[in-house]
Structure 1
């Protein structure tokens, strides 16, 4: 399984260094690191309101000693930063232990080593931004052209791909590779002073193939039809 470049710093050498620093100082530690990238496209009435992408790195460090916890959060995933943050977490754990009244231990556990990857046929990272933009334009046009009663359309696309690595002092190593995609369609209609709206969405865990399902392809026309039909809705008696 491929892993994000920024997470390749989390290797056996780093784990060895962490265990060496923690020896005789704390009872338990764990580190969760992650890399997230994604896209957001927001169109209203065939015009773009937002086209953006993100790339976020994060690291959470926990250290424990006799009832006391220490925490440190980082954005830099290089080894030097992680080791410095780890030492800060140890100091905070020892300080917390000296102040807490309720002392307790964490029971030892067997190592858990596993790699999880969500099934997908089309990697989001392999899809050009232009293709995603054209998809949203396509849905906007379908909704707009459905009826002259349609006054406003709004289509939102969000996707994300995350790699997460968890390691701890029990020699566990967990790698998660997860991607998701969601699309929203909102349509407003007006007739004879009556305004109605309809909202639908599709999405799930997986890749770009989510946009090619039958429900996804009919998303905008379904929303447009519902919004138009609601103009004829009668109040319950």
Structure 2
């Protein structure tokens, strides 16, 4: 039986979930914990369940059985609306495709995160704009650019940094990064991770990054393979990931 960390930021225990449909993807995790303030790298190939895992952790979907906890709170016991509020307040997400509003400025994209998280907004005590500009400045984005230029006119690297600032603003406590370096070359990946780790460390946030790129693993406190902690199954074949390997 695994040792349970009562102070875990993220915990999954005996979780199972299946997407609906005849060929629904099934996913099981017996145990996973990420400690508060820890940086964890979770590596897994395409089809191993990375997106399903993040959907469960972020409360986008609820498990069919088992527990998914954020700061000790069982997401399965919450309504969909309450899960949405918890996600907005406690989890900053860096999406693989960034998910920026293309015609809004970088500044407005960052501030949008606070529109759904009054607790994060209150922490800034009326300094939302200043904090957004500070974060983007720390990420190497000049204020003259981010306040006016539409996000669609920014480079991929600049859009990525806007997405990080949006995730970090208001200190949500947990940062989830989904393949955030997939569009970058090796040099840009290293520079990006330098900045991300500095900013996460400044606020003491927990970082869970998911990627297929094993070369990034050395930067993290903890590394795990998704294929080792999760079992996947396709309904139309009945074959598990272990059997198919």
Q: TM-score surpassing 0.5? A: no
TM-score of Structure 1 vs Structure 2, range by shorter chain: under 0.3
Larger strand percent: 1
Task: Give me the TM-score of the superposition, normalised by structure 1.
Answer: 0.22
Larger of the two Rg values belongs to structure? 1
Q: TM-score, normalised by structure 2?
A: 0.22
